[in-house]
Amino acid sequence: MPEALLIEPDVQFIRNVVRAGGGDLKKCYQCATCSVVCTLSPDDAPFPRRQMVRAQWGLKDQLMADPAIWLCHNCGDCTTHCPRGAKPGQVFGALRSEAITHFAFPAFLGAWLARPAGVAALLALGAVVFGLLALLGPMASPHRAAGEQAFEFANLYPLWLIETFFFSLSALILIAFLGSLTRFVRALRASGAQGPILAGLVPAAVDIMTHTRFSTCRQARARYIGHLATFWGFLGLATVSTVVGFATMFGVMHTPLAQTNVLKILGNLSGAAAVVGAVWLLADRLNDPVKRAASTSFDWFFLWTLTGVIATGVIIQFLRLAQSIPWMYVCYFVHLVLIFALFVSAPYTKFAHLAYRTVAMAASSKT
Amino acid sequence: MANAPGVYICSGCSIGDALDTGKLAKVATSACQVPRCEVHPFLCSPQGVSLIRKDLAEGSIDGVVIAACSPRVKTEAFAFDPRIVVDRVNIREHVAWCQKPQDEDTQMMAEDYLRMGIIKVQKSEPLEPVHDEISKKLLVVGGGVTGMTAAIEAADAAYDVVLVEKSPRLGGFVATLKKRFPTAPPYTELTTDGTAALVQAVTYHPRIQVLTSARILETSGQPGMFDVTVAGESGEITTRVGAIVLATGWKPYDATRLGHLGYGMSPDVITNVELEQMVARGPIVRPSDGRAVASVLFVQCAGSRDKNHLAYCSSVCCMASLKHAAYIHEQNPDAAVYVIYKDMRTPGQYERFYRAAQDHPLNFLTKGEVAGVQKAADGRLAVSVTDTLLNEPIVIKVDLVVLATGMVPNAADGTAIRAVKDARATLARAEATEPQKVDARKKIEELAQHEGTEILNLTYRQGPDLPAFRYGFPDSHFVCFPYETRRTGIYAAGPVRAPMDAAHAQEDATGAALKAIQSVELAARGAAVHPRAGDLSFPDFFLQRCTQCKRCTEECPFGTLDEDAKGTPQLNAYRCRRCGVCMGACPERIISFKNYSVEIIASMIKAIEVPEEDEEKPRVLVFMCENDAYPALDVAGLNRVRYDPSVRVIPLRCLGSLNIVWIADALAGGIDGILLVGCKYGDDYQCHFMQGSELANRRLDNVKETLQRLQLESDRIQLTQLAINEYGKLPALIDGFMARVRELGPNPYKGL
């Protein structure tokens, strides 16, 4: 007989899960309808039934180290079929947000950004930072010759400043991600998930790129399309930005790019896909009263920031073409503040699901 | 004796198409020599019935034989004065509807049935209704919710009630509760309405006499005339009542037997009843050190649904524990409450309370088996649980463990008490043999704990209290006859009958009060109660020939018969249910009813025309229980199901009234086989008289030995158990038995 588990329910954890969308958690009476209807649940370690009882009993450590909570794509099949209305899908959403906060590196940032006040503070910080940075830009400089050249964003913030700032910030974010994921992997290993993480990353990434697992969710066809568009649009934008950023930094390329430039076309297409996808996802969540009620600041912040970044990105391009002063500068400022917020919060908010899910899928893959 | 019965044959309902009713009438007039015989196309019509009434009024006939539909239908149309002997010959459901029309065998069947009906009427005597002075006052034993509700219900229906309570106050267990289970929508809130209003209503009701601190010294007599002696606060009083409602409630299962769950190991392991008592006194604390509790674990089914303890579910413990969880959270919202269950059972609307309790973040519920309770180093209790929903054995540390123990009926087992008394008498007898004494000592050791538990102190020969059924509950069949006990006029209600909560017990009390009222009203008319409600016949004992064998006094399922010093049966007619079990038991055949006797049935058997051996027409007699098997055969007829036409059915009041002399008579008369169809017996018995079919089966074992001595195959007699809804099985049962009888060949005694 295995050694008995000493039960010490983490009451705060239960309350957090309940507050973060798992309000019906305690209704579960363990019939396992959810595990049966779930198309993603593996036969040898089915979910979400077991995770439901562990959550009810406040067994936080077991749940945080359980890759199963990341194998769920929140399609809602289980919630639709739950005879008791326990909404396992939403409980899983809450568990994921708990996990992101739990493994956050540095931990205080995770705890801070898990609260709406922290999010507001982050946006305010972004505004202050970019307000101050604008003081260093050419427009603020007394040496600036007006009307010398077309209105460009570089007039507000010189390119070197933006690039240096965001590349440095990205490096910090990467460290934060690596720190968080290291904690996560350590917990996964301790709980017995023995999948080869490095080797498993490639198949996991392929699955994520193709949305193969997500596409099998019956209840989530609409969200699947929106998510796919957002994912690829965002990936395209990230790639174009990084390439252009490096290229300009090393002087290989000069912005603004011509509208016929391949990268420009790719960027515009990605932007269009991302806009459509993000609006689609937002509309899906807003139109469904059940989903709307179950969404927390954790969901909304990520979704609105992402949509805001993409939308302001598209708008400022048009404003620049129209040479609309001062709106193009105002929107550019907002765009940068939102990107800042998205970057800084990435390891601590829903954005991080991309990284956690990839690792969890790798860890639970078969050797 | 009805020497001159009129015979009325109905040719309606396709009877006339299947049978030659003219030939049938000739059987009555020529062979049976009845003075009057009519064939009518619609006998149950006013014209048809008036034909019979006219003949009766003219005095040309003194009995009536109606050959038409089943006696179970058209009872109002064919209702006559009870002083007229009437028999209904079932040639519709049992002949015309289930046999080949216009066939020789079908006609023979109808003719046999008609001859049997005529002889039955000729041998029966008219019933004479009895009239005694019947008390309609009711005695209610127990002043808890059940007893008080029964008293109020009966008193409001204008029946006087005496309510006897052993403690100094009314209210029972429920009065000690801080809160009760929810009683109104949304069923999620506990209620605080105790029993005060009910106690007041009972106390001041002009028809209710309350005797507290009282106990019953003796209950003698019979329904309608029970004389009850009660010792109470104001001395002894004797009062006459007509019926009794037993509402003595329950007691908790003895937790000292639950050592394996930690009871007795630590003062911090208590029972649910002890928790309720603690709540009544003050806060919920650890008994060991008096500190308020921060974590409590409930063990459900503590000693319940366990063959070593109580094999049954008490149906209230799950709700009680959920209620106690609410008490705990009321006191300390941050306390952790664990519930370890086999299955949560919160019947009916209580499921809503369960759901609400589940939603509490600090209620932790899991299916599981408590493997052990130990004292932990930190002073708390460590409870090990296996087979949990968490898929691993767990240990939970808590301040307090509550064992949710079940309900044990607060009843006395009259049969057991009588057995102990008999055993003591055996020991005291000088002429008792050594093996008898060993048996008696064993019996005393086994049953001695029953002595001193008496409640009703009946003066019945079969014991001073109600006989216990399964698990010690004195309830009879809970589906067919709720509240019935094995003592006529005494009805059990509430947890003494079956485990239940207060709301259910109140419904129960109402039902039992109604049963008690029916009992006194029927007694006032000299009529039987359920299941032969309204029957006016009584058994007669021809005592000159009685050999004091005591079979009747021992086998009567209702304790009807007492004995004098010599062992001669003494009838208490109002205790009788008219099942005829005594008639079946009597080897001297001295017990008869005016319309149901050994002789009447024997004559009916003789009335069957048994064809000669070379005609290859076997004859099989089927004794059918009137309560389940006979209606099932009616339904088979209704469904036009065919079966072998060689059978002749005789309905019996109960298979327990089967007298084995009939078997001998039938076989001697050339009958080839005998089939007995009775109710199911055993633990889940369906016999309307508790043990009739079982008794018949026991008697049959003796008959089979006799058969073998006579070189007759024992297969010629078969007893089958059949439920009322199993009509579909009947044709195959009959045809199968017929096939076996044909295989055995004709009865060698045929024609001798």
- What does the pLDDT look like over A327-347, one tens digit per residue? 888 899 999 999 999 999 999
Chain A CB contacts of B384 below 8 Å? 4
pLDDT per residue over A277-315, tens digit each? 988 888 888 888 777 777 777 788 888 898 899 889 889
Element (H, E) at B154: helix B145-156
Chain B CB contacts of A1 below 8 Å? 386, 393
- Copy the structure tokens of residue B692: 């009739």
How high is the pLDDT of residue A160?
Answer: 82
Percent of the residues in chain B that have a pLDDT greater than 70, as a whole number = 99
Mutation to test the B interface, candidates A1, A3, A5, A7, most B Cβ within 10 Å: A7
Mutation to test the A interface, candidates B364, B367, B374, B391, most A Cβ within 10 Å: B364
Q: Which of B359, B389, B394 lies nearest to residue A26, judging by beta carbons?
A: B359
How high is the pLDDT of residue A45?
Answer: 87
CA nearest neighbour of B376 among B395, B349, B363, B353: B395
Assign domain B1-126 to its CATH architecture: 3-Layer(aba) Sandwich (3.40)
Segments in B650-691 forming alpha helices (H): 660-668
- Copy the structure tokens of residue A170: 């990205």
Specify whether the backbone of A354 is left (phi greater than 0), alpha (psi in -120 to 50) or beta: alpha
Chain A CB contacts of B367 below 8 Å? 30
ipTM, two decimals, is: 0.80
CA nearest neighbour of B107 among B10, B22, B197: B22
Q: If pLDDT is split at 50, 70 and 90, which confidence band does A46 have?
A: very high
Give yes or no for residue A356 having a pLDDT over 80: yes
Average per-residue pLDDT in chain B? 94
User: Coil, helix or strand for B627?
Assistant: coil
Chain A CB contacts of B362 below 8 Å? 9, 11, 14
Q: Could you tell me the pTM of the whole model?
A: 0.87
For A334-344, give one letter per residue: b (16+ CB within 10 A) or e: bbbbbbbbbbb
Strand order in the sheet with B717-721: B647-652, B620-625, B673-678, B717-721
CA nearest neighbour of B165 among B206, B209, B195, B198: B209
Rounded to the nearest 10 degrees, the angle between the axes of helix B104-123 and helix B598-606 is 150
How high is the pLDDT of residue A159?
Answer: 81
Chain A CB contacts of B355 below 8 Å? 27, 84
Beta bridge mates, B238: B229
B364 in reach of chain A (CB within 8 A): yes
Exposed (0-12), middle (13-18) or buried (19+): which is B592, by Cβ within 10 Å? buried
Task: Determine the distance in angstroms separating the CA of B388 from the nearest CA of chain A, rounded to an integer.
Answer: 10
Task: Determine the distance in angstroms separating the CA of A303 from the nearest CA of chain B, rounded to an integer.
Answer: 30
For B372-383, give one letter per residue: b (16+ CB within 10 A) or e: ebeeeeeebbbb
For B337-361, give one letter per residue: b (16+ CB within 10 A) or e: bbbbbbebbbeebbeebbbbbbebb
> Rounded to a whole number, what is the largest CA-CA distance in chain B?
100
Q: Which of B334, B361, B389 lies nearest to residue A26, judging by beta carbons?
A: B361
B397 in reach of chain A (CB within 8 A): yes
How high is the pLDDT of residue B269?
Answer: 98
| Residue in the block written with tokens 């009870």 | B82
B597-752 matches B138-249+454-524 in CATH topology = no
Chain A CB contacts of B333 below 8 Å? none
B295 in reach of chain A (CB within 8 A): no
How far apart, in Å, are the Cα atoms of A354 and each of A357, B189, B661? 5, 45, 91
What is the number of residues in chain B? 752
Cα A105 to the center of its chain, rounded Å: 16
User: Coil, helix or strand for A365?
Assistant: coil
Q: Do A6 and B393 touch (CB under 8 A)?
A: no
pLDDT per residue over A80-104, tens digit each? 899 999 999 999 999 999 999 999 9
CA nearest neighbour of B484 among B641, B259, B690, B177: B690
Rounded to the nearest 10 degrees, the angle between the axes of helix A88-103 and helix A11-19 is 120
Structural contact between residues B498 and B473, judged by C-beta atoms closer than 8 angstroms: yes
**Chain A: residue nearest B344 by CA?**
A29
Q: Do A27 and B359 touch (CB under 8 A)?
A: yes
Assign domain B597-752 to its CATH architecture: 3-Layer(aba) Sandwich (3.40)
Query: What dihedral do alpha carbons B198, B203, B205, B206 form, nearest 10°?
Result: 170
How high is the pLDDT of residue A1?
Answer: 47
Residue B3 phi, psi (nearest 5) = -80, -25
How confident is the model over A192-217, as a mean pLDDT?
A: 85
- Copy the structure tokens of residue B576: 């009788």
Q: Do A4 and B384 touch (CB under 8 A)?
A: yes
How high is the pLDDT of residue A141?
Answer: 59
What gap in Å lies between CA B693 and CA B688, rounded to an integer? Answer: 9
Yes or no: is domain B252-409 CATH 3.40.50.300? no
Structural contact between residues B619 and B608, judged by C-beta atoms closer than 8 angstroms: yes
What would the DSSP string read from start to end of B510-562? Answer: HHHHHHHHHHHHHHHTT---TTSTT-----EE-GGG-----HHHHH-TT--EE
Q: Which of A7, A24, A30 lies nearest to residue B395, judging by beta carbons?
A: A7
Average per-residue pLDDT in chain A? 87
A53 in reach of chain B (CB within 8 A): yes
- Copy the structure tokens of residue B485: 């006990």
The CATH number of B138-249+454-524, from 3.50.50.60, 3.40.50.300, 3.40.50.150, 3.90.260.10, is 3.50.50.60
Give yes or no for residue A223 having a pLDDT over 70: yes
pLDDT per residue over B82-124, tens digit each? 889 999 999 999 999 999 999 999 999 999 999 999 999 999 9
SS3 content of chain A, % helix, strand, coil (to 5): 70, 0, 30
Q: How many other C-beta atoms are found inside a 10 Å radius of the C-beta of residue B732?
A: 11
Domain boundaries, chain B: 1-126, 138-249+454-524, 252-409, 414-452, 597-752
What is the number of residues in chain A? 367
Task: Determine the distance in angstroms separating the CA of B190 from the nearest CA of chain A, rounded to an integer.
Answer: 20
Exposed (0-12), middle (13-18) or buried (19+): which is A15, by Cβ within 10 Å? middle
B58 in reach of chain A (CB within 8 A): no
Element (H, E) at B141: strand B138-141
Question: Within chain B, which residues score under 50 in pLDDT?
Answer: none
Beta bridge mates, A220: none
Q: Considering Cα of A174, then A176, then A179, then A185, what sign does the dihedral take?
A: negative
pLDDT per residue over B627-656, tens digit each? 999 999 999 999 999 999 999 999 999 999
How high is the pLDDT of residue B589?
Answer: 95
A27 in reach of chain B (CB within 8 A): yes
Segments in B66-144 forming alpha helices (H): 104-123
- Copy the structure tokens of residue B645: 């036409």
Task: Determine the distance in angstroms separating the CA of B333 from the nearest CA of chain A, rounded to an integer.
Answer: 12
How high is the pLDDT of residue A19?
Answer: 86
pLDDT per residue over A145-189, tens digit each? 454 556 677 778 888 888 889 999 999 999 999 999 999 999 999
Structural contact between residues B249 and B195, judged by C-beta atoms closer than 8 angstroms: no
Q: Do B392 and A2 touch (CB under 8 A)?
A: yes
B739 in reach of chain A (CB within 8 A): no
Q: If pLDDT is split at 50, 70 and 90, which confidence band does A2 have?
A: low
Chain A CB contacts of B396 below 8 Å? 6-7
Q: If pLDDT is split at 50, 70 and 90, which confidence band does A249 have?
A: confident
The angle subtended at Cα B596 by Cα B578 and Cα B731, nearest 5°, is: 95
Of A117-126, A133-142, B258-267, B517-526, which gets the smallest average pLDDT? A133-142
Domains and CATH numbers, chain A: 11-103 (1.10.1060.10), 107-363 (1.20.950)
